[in-house]
Amino acid sequence: MEIRNFKIMSLFSSSGASYLGVDFDLHSVKIVELKNEKGRPRLINYGYY
C-alpha cells in the first residue's frame, strides 16, 4: 500500500504539535496533517489511497 503525497517522517518532527485526521470509507483512505497556526488550522500534509 502506497500513500501518495504523504511524508510519514513529518509526523515525528519536533517543530510543534500537529494533528492527524484519517477518513476511512469503502473505497479509499484519506489522511491529513494539520497544525494550529495563529488560531487557525493549517494543512501541512495530505495523502490518499
Cell numbers for 10, please give them: 513529518
- β-pair partners for 34: 19, 43
Instruction: Report the predicted TM-score, pTM, of the whole model to 2 decimal places.
Output: 0.59
pLDDT of residue 18: 83
Asked, for residue 30, whether it belongs to a domain, the answer is yes
In which residue ranges of the chain is pLDDT below 70?
Answer: 1-16
pLDDT of residue 1: 46
**Enclosing domain of residue 33:** 8-48
Asked, for residue 37, whether it belongs to a domain, the answer is yes
Asked, for residue 3, whether it belongs to a domain, the answer is no
Asked, for residue 1, whether it belongs to a domain, the answer is no
Asked, for residue 2, whether it belongs to a domain, the answer is no
- How many whole angstroms separate alpha carbon 42 and alpha carbon 28? 23
Closest-CA residue to 46 (of 2, 1, 4): 4
Specify the number of domains making up the chain: 1
